[in-house]
Amino acid sequence: MALITKYIRLLGQPFLRHAAFCLFMALLLWITYDRVHAPMAHPAFYALQFALDLYLVCCLFCLLPRRWAFGAKCFFYVVAYMLCVVEAFLYARFYIIYSPTMLNLAFETNAGEASEFLSVCFKSPKVWPILLTYGGVAVGNVAVECYGRRLWLHLCRHFRWIGQGVRSVFGVLTAVLLLWGVVPWCQEKGKMLAFFSLEKSELTERVSTDVFYSPFYRIVYSLKFIDITRRETHHLIAEMKEVSVDTCSFLSPNIVIVIGESYNKHHAQIYGYPMPTTPRMTAMAQRGELIVFTDAVTPWNVTSNAFKNFLSTHSTDQQGSWTDGVLFPAIMRKAGYKTAFITNQFYKSARQNKADFNGSFFLNDAQADSLCFDYRNTKHYKYDGGFLGELNGFETGAHNLILLHLIGQHLEYALRFPESEVYFSPKDYERKDLDSDALQVVADYDNATRYNDKVFARICDRYRQENVIIIYFADHGDEVYDDGIGMYGRNHSADLTPQILRGEFEVPMMMWFSPSYRAAHPDIVKSAFAAKDKPFGIDDLPHLVLGLSGIRCKYYNASRDLLHASYTGRRPRPIKDLVDYNRVMHKP
C-alpha cells in the first residue's frame, strides 16, 4: 500500500507543482469560451481533453531544469493571454474567431493597414471591458504565482497532514483522469494527426473542427489549412499558365451557367413535388424551352468542394486531385471567350468583409482570377432578384461565358425571399410527423424555391432575344425534413445512406435555349432531349461546356460530354471520395 500510495502521489505531482498554471489556464479557456461562441458539440468532453493537455505540459515543466521550466511557463502564459484577448476582441467587434479566413487576412495586411487596425481597436469601446477582464485575471495570476507556493510551503511546515492529504487527493484525481481520459484523448489527437497528414483541401471537412477546441488549436488548424490551399493554388496556377487550345468554332456564342445553392430537387414541382414551387420552370418545360435532366449528381454537399470539382477538368472518378486539371473558364478565356464570374456568395478578394476563404481561396488568388475571368462583381445582395443587376456591369464581347452563382435556398431559408414573395405557410402541409416550427421551415424552404424559380425566369427573359444557352444546376441539396430525416440543412456524417444521397447529392439540372439558339442549333437541342435521363456527374461539366463551345484541346474528353454521341454515363460517381452513388442507389 505504501508503494501504491507513493506512485499515486507521484502521478499528481505535475498538477500539484504547477497548480497555479493549471488553474489560470483553465480560467482563461472558460472565460474565452464564454465570450467567444465557437461551435463545440461537447464542452464537457473537451474540458477533459484540456485537462490531459495541461497534464502533459506540466510533466514537461517537471522534466526541465528549474530555470528552463520558468522560461517555458512564462512563454506559455504570454502566448495564452495574447491568443485569448485577441480572439475575444475579434468576436466582440467583428463576430469572427480564429479561422483560415482571419489568418489569411492578417497575412495580407501591410504595416500601414495593421497600424490603422490597431488604432481602431484601441478606440473601440469593445476593447476595454476585455482588457479589464483578462487584466484582472493576469494580476491574480501573477499574485498566485509569486505568493502561492510560499503559502503552500508554510502550510505544509505547520500542518504536515494537509500536504500529505492534498498530495493523495491530487494523485487519486490524476489517476482517475488518466484511466478515464487517455483513450478518448488519444482518439482526438489521432484525428488531429489525420488532419495534419491531409494534402487535399476537400478532405479537411472530415476532421471535426470540435477537435480544435481552444484558441491555440484554432490557430494551428488555420495555419495548416492555409498551407494546403496555397500549395493547391500554386499547382493549379502552374497548370493553367500552360493552357493551350487546338481549335475553337464558337459553336455556342453565349453560354450562361446558373449555379443554384442548397437546392433539394425533391422540393421542386418540376421534379414531381406536389406543391407549386416551380410554376415558371414548369411552364417553360411545357413550351419546349427548358429541358429537365433527371439523373444529375454532385460529388460533395459542401459548396467549396463542389466548386473545385465542377470547375476543374479533372473528374472525381479519376486518379489524382482536382488540381491535376485546370479550371475550364481559363480554357474558354484562352480560346477567345469573354468570361465573367458573378456571385452572390463569394467575394472577389479575401480582403472584403465576410470573405469565405474556405469556399473561394482558389478563385481569390490574383493570378488564378486573371487567368480565368475578365469580370468579377464586388457587391452582394440580400436577395438574388436584386443581385441580377450585377449582370449590367459585364461588358460582353462577341463570345461570352457567364457563371452566375446565386445564394438560392441557402440557410436560413426565411432570409432568401422578400416578404412579398411569401406563398406557402405551415397550414398548407398535412404532416402529422412535424411540429409547427418544422412546418415553418418547410414552408420557408418552399417559398425560397418558388422565389428561385422566379429569379431563374427573369434570367431567361433577359437573354430571350439573344443567341444563348443557359445551363442551370445546384452545387448540392439540403435536408428539409424528408425521408424520415428529422432535420434540415446538411448532414455531414460519413454514413452516406440512400436518404442522404437523395436529399443532398441528387441535384436539379436544366438547359434553357433562347428562340434564336433553338433555330440555329436544332441538333444540340435534339441531343439534349435525348440525354435528359442519362446519368451525369456535375464534375464532368467542363467537358459539356467545352463541347458546346466547340473547343478542342487536350483537356476535352468527348466521352464525358453529356451531349456527345460517345457519351454513355457509364462511370462511377464518387460521393465525398467515400462511396459510389451508383452502387448505393443501385443504378446501372
- What is the model's pTM? 0.80
Q: What is the pLDDT of residue 98?
A: 86
211 and 261 share a domain? no
ω into 412 cis (within 30 of 0): yes
User: Is 503 part of any domain?
Assistant: yes
Alpha carbon separation from 311 to 303, 326, 350, 357 (Å, rounded): 12, 8, 20, 17
C-alpha 340: how far from chain center = 23
- Our count of domains for the chain comes to 2
428-454 confidence digits (pLDDT tens): 999 989 999 999 999 999 999 999 999
251 and 185 share a domain? no
Q: What is the pLDDT of residue 63?
A: 93
The residues near 193 (Cβ < 8 Å, ≥ 6 apart) are none
* Torsion, CA 494, CA 499, CA 500, CA 504, rounded to 10: 160
User: Is 222 part of any domain?
Assistant: no
Residue 151 is inside which H or E element, if any?
Answer: helix 127-158
Q: What is the pLDDT of residue 353?
A: 38
Residue 286 C-alpha cell reads as 411545357
User: Is 313 part of any domain?
Assistant: yes
Q: What is the pLDDT of residue 363?
A: 77
Q: Are 386 and 344 in contact (CB under 8 A)?
A: no
The answer on pLDDT for 8 being more than 80 is no
CATH assignment of the domain containing 566: 3.40.720.10
Residue 108 is inside which H or E element, if any?
Answer: helix 100-108
254 and 388 share a domain? yes
Q: What is the pLDDT of residue 198?
A: 77
Q: What is the 3-state secondary structure (H, E, C) of 2-47?
A: HHHHHHHHHHHHHHHHCHHHHHHHHHHHHHHHHHCCCCCCCHHHHH
Q: Is 296 helix (H, G, I), strand (E, B) or coil?
A: strand
Domain extent for 452: 246-584
210 and 273 share a domain? no
208 and 315 share a domain? no
518-553 confidence digits (pLDDT tens): 999 999 999 999 999 999 999 999 999 999 999 999
Q: What is the pLDDT of residue 283?
A: 97
Q: How far apart are CA 535 and CA 569, in angstroms?
A: 5
461-498 confidence digits (pLDDT tens): 999 999 999 999 999 999 999 987 888 998 876 689 99
Q: What is the pLDDT of residue 354?
A: 39
Between 558 and 369, name the one with better pLDDT.
558
Report which residue type is found at 278. T
260 and 310 share a domain? yes
507 and 571 share a domain? yes
User: Is 231 part of any domain?
Assistant: no
User: Is 429 part of any domain?
Assistant: yes
The answer on pLDDT for 500 being more than 90 is yes
502 and 545 share a domain? yes
410 and 364 share a domain? yes
The answer on pLDDT for 284 being more than 60 is yes
Residue 399 C-alpha cell reads as 463570345
Q: Are 507 and 297 in contact (CB under 8 A)?
A: yes
User: Is 77 part of any domain?
Assistant: yes
Residue where a domain stops, chosen among 216, 237, 271: 216
The answer on pLDDT for 9 being more than 80 is no
Q: Are 410 and 347 in contact (CB under 8 A)?
A: no
Instruction: Report the candidate in 259, 269, 249, 263 with the shortest Cα–Cα distance to residue 548.
Output: 249
Residue where a domain stops, chosen among 166, 197, 216: 216
Reported as half-sphere exposure (CB side, CA atoms, 13 A), residue 372 has a value of 24
251 and 208 share a domain? no
User: Is 225 part of any domain?
Assistant: no
User: Is 174 part of any domain?
Assistant: yes
The answer on pLDDT for 13 being more than 50 is yes
Residue where a domain stops, chosen among 216, 234, 258: 216
Cβ atoms within 10 Å, residue 174: 22
441 and 558 share a domain? yes
250 and 212 share a domain? no
